[in-house]
Copies of this chain bind each other. A is one copy, B any other.
Amino acid sequence: MDFKNKSIISIRDMKRDEIDFIIKSAEILQDNWKNYKDYLKDRILGTLFFEPSTRTRISFETAMKRLGGMVVGFSAPEGSSLAKGENLIDTVRVIENYCDAIVLRHPLEGAARLAANYVKIPVINAGTGAEEHPTQALLDLYTIFKEKGGIDGLNIALLGDLKYGRTVHSLTYALSNYKVKLTLVSPPLMKIREEIIEDLKNKRIKITETSSLDEVINEIDVLYVTRIQRERFADATEYERVKGSYRIELKTLKNAKKDLIIMHPLPRLEEISQEVDYTNHAVYFKQVKYGLIVRMAILLLIFGFELK
């Protein structure tokens, strides 16, 4: 498996053996990352955040610096020549002269693929448009792998806004490479789109759809919680009602499996009560740590180092 100089654009581009290879590489790195602390010495990562995302940016920057590398870039479009109307292609063609790989966050779908087509250095998609955020999907898989000892055979519930959430789409496609049962829990208005269901069925994923977490809580191994966004509701009262009925509290979990893990891409608002943080179910802060390892692994791989 060779990721050297390859771009990471979409989880849909990746086959199971490629995903497994990244997971395995991350696992090798997990306890030994300090041995790799000079591997990216003299390399420069360009972090181009055309929309702000503090946690994703700092995660990549930390990954690069922990491996001895350097970072240049911008954290928000204010101050970029985008304000002068420059197009994305010119921007990345300029920036590629300054660095050895690009991490790109952009509000438009397809921006990372477009960029990758025009530069000679690898591009890592750090979130584009409403659908793609491949390193988030990879870190989610890695979290499940590490916390549950594997992915095949699990019953994984996705909860919240399954219609619009970027994380959910990427993760669903990623999981479709595994033999999992998917339990989709959402308000009727926010059900996952029909074409995604079709795709998943074609891949022989077993799917349960429900609007009630209570009905399924005792059967699931992984509960992946996402935010229900206020913008989707015309009516504030309706929003409050729906939001409240999908909020995870201690009492929500009373019939849960003992080893259920609860994940969240963060930032979390009120979807998960803080009292849940102190249970063994909560792994959302550990997810952050796993994410850092996954990104370190990806950087090492695209710069041509194999982890074994």
Contact = CB atoms under 8 A, between A and B. Distances in A.
Contact of A80 (B54, B80, B93): B54
B292 A94 contact: no
A275 interface: no
A42 B37 contact: yes
A42 B90 CA distance: 34
A201 interface: no
A78 B76 contact: yes
Contacts of A58: 46, 72-74, 95, 98
Contacts of A292: 97-98
A267 B54 contact: no
A262 B70 CA distance: 33
Given A85-B269, A86-B267, A97-B289, A62 B44 contact: yes
Contact of A285 (B76, B97, B269): B97
A66 B93 CA distance: 19
Given A44-B66, A72-B65, A54 B81 contact: yes
A234 interface: no
A230 to B, nearest CB: 10
Interface string A27-51: 0000000100100001010100100
Copies of this chain, complex-wide, total: 3
B81 A78 contact: no
Contacts of A52: 78-80, 83
A76 to B, nearest CB: 4
Contacts of A80: 52, 54
Contacts of A49: 79
A97 B288 contact: yes
A168 to B, nearest CB: 17
Chain A: number of interface residues, binned into ranges: 35 or more
26 contacts: A34-B42, A42-B66, A44-B65, A44-B66, A46-B58, A52-B80, A53-B79, A53-B81, A54-B74, A54-B81, A58-B95, A61-B72, A62-B98, A65-B70, A65-B72, A78-B78, A85-B267, A85-B269, A86-B269, A89-B274, A90-B266, A94-B266, A94-B288, A97-B285, A97-B288, A97-B292
Given A72-B62, A81-B54, A94 B285 contact: yes
Contacts of A84: 267, 269
A247 to B, nearest CB: 15
A172 interface: no
Contacts of A62: 44, 72, 98-99
Nearest to A274: B89
